[in-house]
Structure 1
Amino acid sequence: MPVQIAHYRTPPDGVRALGLAVTGAGTILGQGRPRPRRALTGYAGVMVTSGTGHLVLHDRPGRHRIGPGTFFWLPPGVRHTYGPSGGTWDEHWVLFEGPSTGGYESLGYLGGGVAAVEVADPAWVGAAMTRLVELTGRATSLPDHVALGAALHAVIPAVGPGRRLPPDRAPASPLGHQAIALLTADLERPVRIGEVARELSVSRDTLIAAVRAVTGDTPIDYLTRHRLDRAKVMLADTDLPVGAIARRVGYTGHAYFTRVFTQRAGMSPTAFREQAFREQAPPEDRPG
């Protein structure tokens, strides 16, 4: 007989508006019974820690192989079948809902990409899921439910979308990481996506898809974010003029750099530097 721990909760009013509300979590050791053609009203996540089996989402092609360290998401309303094959497996599961689910899916999480994910750090995710189950079992107050949502927010990026497993295929190559290294190797040098693609012997479309799989952005959008992140460090930690910082992160024009920075950061480079100075300086040294 399997050993089961299951906790179900109705979150207090207002918790859902924070983004994610956990409505249940549990652990099953020695699960031997498949879940056939079931559909849920909310989202679910399942982490398999031992044993092997399969997952089928009946509105999508393919049968996903599941093994230790595999995590899969079950979107609401999607009929699915999953379970161990020829034996048992151990699993942790969580049920949840909330407005953040749409944003995560649009970024490729929560089944917005491939459903079955080979977790990069299964020990960490397994421990985090165990913690989620424990927190759910103790959740009675508003702070408890807020902490539950925060814990789930930490699990989702740890699961993926990195190293996603298509049906019956091995993990993807590190092409995206190679492309990122080339894109950011010399920020002062103009970057041409076609040249990077040729250096990696892939098409431009393949390069863009590989970078998006790792960063969630196109190469140009990722590079812009990276350049602005470097500019923020120099604005906060050096006395370099804004024009010099612009050149060091790849912008030949001071005005264009200021426009891009202001659009992305919500303030000008000069205002950002002043804010960073006020945050870092001791009280007796702060102007005004």
Structure 2
Amino acid sequence: MKIRSGGHDYEGVSYVSDVPFFILDMFNFRSINVSIEIETAWVQVGAILGEVYYRIAEKSNVHGFPAGVCPTVGVGGGYGDMIRKYGLSVDNIIDAQIIDVNGRILDRVSMGEDLFWAITGGGGSSYGVVLAYKIKLVRVPSTVTVFRVTRTYEQNLTNIVYSYQQVTDKLPKEIFVKMTLDVVKSSVQTGEKTNRATFLTLFLGDSEKLLSIMNETFPDLGLKQSDCTEMSWIESVIFWTNFPAGTPVIFLLSRVPQVLTHLKRKYDYLKTPIPKL
């Protein structure tokens, strides 16, 4: 048996197997009950992050949840842009409902701390079927700031990337800077290519303070006021998903990925900076 919640699965492991199997699809278990007064929400496992973010923002413009930036990921997954401030989604799960092999519906108290630990990242997924999570909402300011800037090899890229590795872990925890590297055409006429870095950032605060911090700690980036945009936290979720500017936040309720892609992907963690060559 394979248990599928959101279905966000580039490798297709929810859909294929070397042996006969059936899918327990949790698609219709997608209720979201937000309690702003106690800063929590009960979220059934069929809900996706876009739905969770949207329902929180319906109730409050100063609350959010620190999970993945892709809105079609299930509620328990993803690396998010508030990870430095609030950690992962599993760091903010305070209760759960699970049905075990005997058909019993258990919460955190009745299942015990060992099983609760196992279903929130401590082990595999063979301990039962999770029905819902109780999540702890986090405080966000009414105004946040984002920017997306690119730099190429011809724009001092080597020094910028090296500096990025030296400073980003020392920035205030309200700042998250994501860097992606790729190769692009530097000339349409000749077809020549160059290296490019894209810096994507969320700051839980206003643009004036962000600009001051970045220009003091990361001057090589050359950030300008015109690069920064202030918005609400829920609007920043739209920004990070690469939806076109002005996209209504209701688009977060769509369960259809922007790009239908199948691929094999691996991640690693750097323990030492990539050196200059």
Please tell me the TM-score bracket, short chain as reference.
under 0.3
Task: Select the structure that is richer in helix.
Answer: 1
Q: Which has the higher contact order (CA 8 A, sep 6+)?
A: 2
TM-score (norm 2): 0.23
TM-score (norm 1): 0.22
Task: Select the structure that is richer in strand.
Answer: 2
